[in-house]
Amino acid sequence: MRRLGHHRLHGKAGGGVGTKGMVAKLSIGVIVLLICTLSLLFSFNIGGNPEPSRPSKINVEELWESADSGGWRPSSAPRSDWPRISLGAFQACIDDKITFAAPTKETNGYLRVRCNGGLNQQRSAICNAVLAARIMNATLVLPELDANSFWHDASGFQGIYDVEHFIETLKYDVKIVGKIPDVHKNGKTKKIKAFQIRPPRDAPIDWYLTTALKAMKEHSAIYLTPFSHRLAEEIDNPEYQRLRCRVNYHALRFKPHIMKLSESIVDKLRSQGHFMSIHLRFEMDMLAFAGCFDIFNPEEQKILRKYRKENFAEKRLIYNERRAIGKCPLTPEEVGLILRAMRFDNSTRIYLAAGELFGGERFMSPFRTLFPRLDNHSSVDPSEELSANSQGLIGSAVDYMVCLLSDIFMPTYDGPSNFANNLLGHRLYYGFRTTIRPDRKALAPVFIAREKGKTAGFEEAVRRVMLKTNFGGPHKRVSPESFYTNSWPECFCQMNPKKASDKCPPDNVVEILESRLESVGDSDSTSQTNSTVAGLER
């Protein structure tokens, strides 16, 4: 099935070229190219009539289905052998493939980390923690989730994630314990105190193999805090990146009651047909961060400026400039206008994943008028558990799962939003599920012109912008797009690849890993899982 995405307008150029030499040919070519370029630039006429010969079309029925995979499928399993190797050693010399070894019995020490931020920032930090432990050949202590910096929620790792599943899934990659054990020697018990280090932001692998590893060997354990964005995302090692995907998309599974609650909400929403989820990031913290104040009344502006001063670095921000470059979150009304221009009708069922919207019903009313069938987790399932934790980690976890499983997902501010970015990456991995990603910078002049009364051709202009976006299919990762937003091609493979490195691993990869693990002590891994879970339950 042919899908939308990355469409470009192509003009027709004709006319013969006389045989007056190469210079003449080149001159004509340059002129034609210039004319086509100018034509493209001026065809985007907000206030005028759209180009009649090239109507834009968006097939809504196609958008309810997954995007075209192009023959790719998700795969984060290792694509090379896993022989046992010496402590901390990694080689890349077997058939020009990276050898990714199973964890050895002995490690260099213990790694503790404190993952700060919201649920999804913490999720990325957990992925980095597992990779850091692998790089240093360290035993990972179950990551700590900061209860104070964002949610004021003390649920912790074991209150949100399935610990036993986490340890079992990663047993080929790292050793994991619930806490640093005491050392018993000569009839005495000694506690190991982890040496605290503040890692640099986006630290390279070399930092972990030098500074961090040296401290670990000296103190037997290190405590890295804070641990948000403390390991470089772009690493020239596909197996390292696939390990991140194994953590993010396989090992990190929410606890059974959260999964059951999420599935119940999805079933209720889908009982009446397709549904779309929208991350409506029109909240005080993001608006203050973006510096987008002018659309609010004086009292609201005062609140936003106060919040910004208390939480972000001082910076001169001009609303019109911020909006023109796409730095302001879309308003609820703008979201509704985009969907209407794309030909979604008012029967579309929409699930809203959002905190408390700043400005309240004054901003929601225009959106609700366009799309009245709006829900959130509280309206679909007003259970006591969600009511008590609607803005905490559990509420965020439920929103995450509903958005992951929805037919279409639309983030309204995916720049610095960890929630949106992680979901975009997870939906890509989950089978190229459709996403609608508005290009705020390209849409800004369209909306500004509409606000000035130039409404002719508005919806056509919106469609032209949206047709140039990607709707969830495989695409090259380009900065500033995050690896957690787009793990293609490292975490995907092809059954009929053009390149050997893109070939899918064997279907019995788990059996192969089990046999390899036997040589390094499978029983140790099993007892590790059981003892860790038991220790957490005490």
**DSSP secondary structure of 72-134:** EEE--S-SS-----STT-----BTTB---PPPPSS-S-EEEEEE-SSHHHHHHHHHHHHHHHH
Q: Give pLDDT tens digits for 201-230.
A: 999 999 999 999 999 999 999 999 999 999
Tell me if the pTM is above 0.85.
no
* 329 preceded by a cis bond (ω within 30 of 0): no
Hey, which bits of 382-531 come out as E strands?
Answer: 408-411, 492-494
Which amino acid belongs to residue 27? Answer: S
Statement: residue 278 has pLDDT above 90? yes
- Tell me how long the chain is: 538
Higher pLDDT, 276 or 393: 276
Q: Give pLDDT tens digits for 101-125.
A: 556 668 999 999 999 888 889 999 9
Which amino acid belongs to residue 498? Answer: K
Partners of 177 in beta bridges: 141
Distance between CA atoms of residues 25 and 18, nearest Å: 8
Chain centre to alpha carbon of residue 328 = 20
Higher pLDDT, 514 or 232: 232
Query: Could you give the maximum distance between any two Cα atoms of the chain, in Å?
Result: 98
Statement: residue 384 has pLDDT above 90? no
Q: Give pLDDT tens digits for 176-208.
A: 999 999 988 888 888 999 999 999 999 999 999
- 176 CB-near residues (< 8 Å, 6+ apart): 139, 140, 141, 142, 166, 167, 170, 528, 532
Backbone φ and ψ for 411, nearest 5 degrees, come out as -85, 140
Dihedral (C-alpha) 20, 26, 32, 37: value to the nearest 10 degrees?
-170
Partners of 94 in beta bridges: 97
Closest CA to 442 of 44, 54, 56: 44
Question: What is the number of helices (H) and of strands (E) in the chain?
Answer: 22, 14
Which DSSP symbol is given to 250? Answer: I
Alpha helices in 170-212 (DSSP H): 205-207
